[in-house]
Amino acid sequence: MIRLTHDGAVGVVTLSHPPRNLIGDEFIDRYCTAQEDAVAAGARAILVRSDLRHFCAGADVKALGPGDGAASDPAAVLDRLESIPVPTVAAIHGAVLGGGFELALACDLIVAAESAQVGAVEVTLGLVPLLGAIQRLVARAGPARAREITMLGRRYRPAELERLGVVNLVVPDGELEEASMSLARQLAAGPTVALGVIKRVVSIAVNDGTRAADEALSGELATMWASNDVRRGTEAMFTDGPGTAVFEGN
C-alpha cells in the first residue's frame, strides 16, 4: 500500500494501492507513518511518488460517511504532515484528484508531469475538501483562486496550476522521475537545520501572519547559528567561494 525506501539521504515514499491509490483511513495512517519513519531513519528530504498509472485519484467514496474514512480526524492528519521537519516533494502524474491533490498540497514542493489531471473535485459529490486543500490553496494561490478551484471542481492541467503558483515545476512525462528526484536530492544535500527553520517560519507566516513569523524567527536563530552546517558553510565560502559547502545536516 505504502512503501518506504531510501536513496541516499532522500526518503522515498511510494504510493502503491491498486488500481488508483484510493484513500482510506489505513492508507492515510501508513502514509503519515512512512514519512515519520523516513525522518527517524535519517532522511534529510522526502520524495512522495506513485508507481501506478495515477498518483492518487482521491478518497475511496464507498468508505466515506459522517465521521468515517480519511476525513474522520483531518486536523490530526494535517498536524502529522505539518510536523515533518524536512523538505517534502510530491511527484504527481495521471489523476491527482480530491484527496490525492491534498496529499500533494501538503508537501512543500510539487513537481508535475505535464499530462497530469489535477483538481479539487469534492464539490461534485456535494462535499468540501477534507484534508486541507482549501486553506493550502489560499496559501499558494490566494483566496480568489482557492474559491475558484474548490467551488467549480474542475480538472486542471499542471501548466495552468504552475502559472497560479500551485505547482512548482512542470516537466514532460518521461522526465518526472528524474526531475523530482534531482530536486529532492538537492534539498537533502542542503543545510537541514536552516531548511527546517524555513519550513516552520513559512507555516507560521501563513497561519498566524508576518508579525508572528518575525517573532518565531528570532527564536529559531540560536539553533541555526549553533549548527555545524553554518560552520561548514562559512568556512567553505572563505576557502572555496559561495555555494561550495558540503552540508551534513546538523
- Known catalytic residues? 59, 99, 102, 122
Among residues 127, 116, 182, 183, the alpha carbon closest in space to that of 153 is found at: 127
Neighbours of 145 (CB within 10 A): 16
Contact 201, 217 (CB under 8 A): yes
Among residues 11, 13, 47, 9, the alpha carbon closest in space to that of 180 is found at: 47
Which residues are CB-contacts of 85 (< 8 A; sequence separation ≥ 6)? 39, 196, 199
How do beta strands 2-7 and 10-15 pair?
A: antiparallel
How far apart are the C-alpha atoms of 133 and 139, rounded to whole Å?
10
The residues pairing with 112 across neighbouring beta strands, listed in sequence order, are 92, 170
- Cell 508579525 locates to 211
Cell numbers at 62, concatenated: 464507498
